[in-house]
Amino acid sequence: MDQLASILPPTLGGYLPYYLLYDGLAAAIHAVVCYVSSPTVALAPFKGPEAPPLHPVLAHVYAVKNFYTSTVRIYAAYYLTNPQLYDLAALTFVGVLFLYITEVFVYKTIGLREASFPYVIAGTGLVWMVLQRDWYLSQ
């Protein structure tokens, strides 16, 4: 148990670092899936009426987005008292919300049902980070 605790980020009195680590690892896993699996699997949510053809290049671009998002969130989980990194991590959630809002309502490449999970995860992360900013940056 001590070995596990030694690799987890410091909590600083809350669970936001664990949330960022979990979400960062999930994004990293999805980045790998986008690279190694077929575009049909990697881009499964993109089934809207205006969805583009599923192509490996599109899956790889999506993987890159997931990779840099995961990197920022994982670093922020460990260095949450750094204001620049904190804000950058919060902006990754803004970016995800922007991506899925525009894909659902503007470009219609993804359905609302398929976008609901990213809305909940990114919305929760963003609200949590905004509400707890002063607490974590004062540590």
Return the CA Rg of the chain: 16
- Candidates 139, 124, 28, 126; CA nearest to 75 is 28
Check residue 2 and give its pLDDT: 80
Which residue, 35, 87, 85, 92, is CA-closest to 58?
35
What pLDDT, on the 0 to 100 scale, is given for residue 111? Answer: 95
The tens-digit pLDDT sequence of the chain (139 residues) is 688 888 999 999 999 999 999 999 999 999 999 999 999 999 999 999 999 999 999 999 999 999 999 999 999 999 999 999 999 999 999 999 999 999 999 999 999 999 999 999 999 999 999 999 999 999 9
pLDDT for the residue 3: 86
Rounded to two decimals, the pTM is: 0.94
Per-residue pLDDT, 1 = 67
Q: Give me the pLDDT at residue 127, please.
A: 98
* Chain CA centroid to CA 32, Å: 14
Give the pLDDT confidence score for residue 37 in this predicted structure: 95
In sequence order, what DSSP letters do the residues of 19-88 get, joined into one string?
Answer: HHHHHHHHHHHHHHHHHHS-HHHHTTT--STTPPPP-HHHHHHHHHHHHHHHHHHHHHHH-TT-HHHHHH
pLDDT of the residue at 132: 98
